Structure 1
Amino acid sequence: MAQIESYIELIRSTHFLIAPLVFILLHVIRPILFIPVLVIFIAGGLIFGIIPGILLSIVGVMLSSALFYQLARIMPNTTRRLSKMKAKVVGQDAELSTGQIAILRLIPFIHFHLLSFLIYESSDHFRSYMESSLFTVIPMTIVYTTIGQSITSFSPMTTVILSISLVPLIFVFRKKSNGVSLREFLR
């Protein structure tokens, strides 16, 4: 552990301009390298500290979201695959609100770009997509950057309990056009 801490300090002190750019780039190329987004948030908190880690992660994820939007527009095969995944996970006709998607982003095992696709489908244009993406990314970035080091020590049971505890929040932030209310769900 001491070696890791000394390596982090070396990166922080010697590469103070290059390290943030590489970190942001890592967010953009993360899907290609199959790196979970949470790992990068945790690394941002460890290497840069909480506030700079949050800010750099938000910039990186927003650039990644902008790239996703552009790729989704020009690559229909990708959107078809994500549409099939959406049908399996949340249902073909399900419309989730931005608040629900923000909560789902807090659940570690939900596919990041599937949630980006849900925002993509409900957005009229690039600006509304980016605004919704920013709203859904901020809570996730804050939570996982600040408690990132702690979450790695959680047991699988603790992770499941935390994930299940987020389900009621999804109903609180639902769109009013959904047919099922929380009262009806609990009956």
Structure 2
Amino acid sequence: MDQTMTMLFAFLESSGIWAPIVFILFHSLRQFLFLPVTVLCLVGGILFGTILGSIYSLVGLTLSCILFYFFHQTMPKTFGKIQRMKEKWLGDRVSFTYGQIALLRCVPFMQYHLLSLIMLERKKNLFSFTKKSFLTNIPLAILYTFFGQSISTLSLSIIIGILATFTILFYVLREKQIRIKWKEFFVEKAS
């Protein structure tokens, strides 16, 4: 990861005034370059600061989601691997709220496009998918860009507090439904 960040820094620093556009392009094409979302957001915080880095990351992540939408629509069989990953990890009847998806996007080991697939199953048209993608990318962009700018000053207790807050918020933002199986609801009477 150090080598990836070093190469990314060198390339972006040499871009001059084109650095924001190159950074946004890196974000939108990062899945083809096998770059993690968190690394790009951290680099954005280091190079551009929290505010501009968050804006650039948010634009790039939204463009990445739009590309995902179009590739999913034009090549649905190619995305079978992500569908199988979803069924394996989460089951076939997973139902996350948008707040939970926003929090899960902040978890570094959570597959970014797996969460995009879950949103795509709920919002089929491009406009609503893009809007929800934009909204669920806001915490991710701000959090990791902030970490990128202030990574050297955070203490272990602050990091543990942030992780505990995420855990509590994930529970609070869950979808509150009760599912009763047909056989349990209509119990047969013993004759």
Query: Per the shorter chain, which TM-score range?
Result: 0.7 to 0.9
Q: 1:90 aligns to what? A: 90
Matching of residues 113-132 of structure 1 within 5 Å: 113-132=113-132
**Structure with bigger gyration radius:** 2
Report the equivalent of 1:101.
Answer: 101
Deviations 1:79-107 (A, max 9, x none): 32211111122211111110010010111
**Conservation of the 8 A alpha-carbon contact between 1:107 and 1:163:** no
Distance in 2 separating the partners of 1:178 and 1:48: 46
Amino acid in structure 2 at the alignment position of 1:15: G
Structure 1 segments unaligned to the other structure (5+ residues): 181-187
1:32-51, aligned counterparts within 5 Å? 32-51=32-51
* Matches for 1:69-88 after TM superposition, within 5 Å: 69-88=69-88
Cα 1:78–1:43 shift into 2, 3 Å: same
> What is the aligned length?
171
Shift of residue 175, structure 1, vs aligned partner = 2.1
User: In the TM superposition, what is the alpha-carbon distance from 1:75 to its structure 2 partner?
Assistant: 1.2
TM-score norm. by structure 2 comes to: 0.77
Give SS of 1:166's match.
helix
What secondary structure, in the 3-state scheme, does the structure 1 residue paired with 2:141 have? helix
Three-state SS of the structure 1 residue aligned to 2:71 is helix
Asked whether the equivalents of residues 54 and 142 of structure 2 are also in contact (C-alpha less than 8 Å), the reply is yes
Distance 1:93 1:121, change over 3 A: same
SS in 2 for 1:175: coil
Aligned residue number for residue 66 of structure 1: 66
SS of residue in 2 equivalent to 1:107 = coil
Q: What is the root-mean-square deviation in Å for CA atoms of aligned residues?
A: 3.0
Give percent identity, aligned residues only: 38
Q: Which runs of 5+ in 2 are unaligned?
A: 1-5, 181-191
- Render the CA deviation track for 1:157-182: whole Å, top value 9, x for unaligned: x97986565333222112233549xx
Whether the aligned pair in 2 keeps the contact of 1:103 and 1:170 (CA below 8 Å) is yes
Could you tell me which amino acid in structure 2 is paired with residue 11 of structure 1?
E
Q: Structure 2: which amino acid aligns with 1:106?
A: C
TM-score, normalised with respect to structure 1: 0.79
Kindly provide the amino acid, as one letter, of the partner of residue 110 in structure 1.
Answer: M
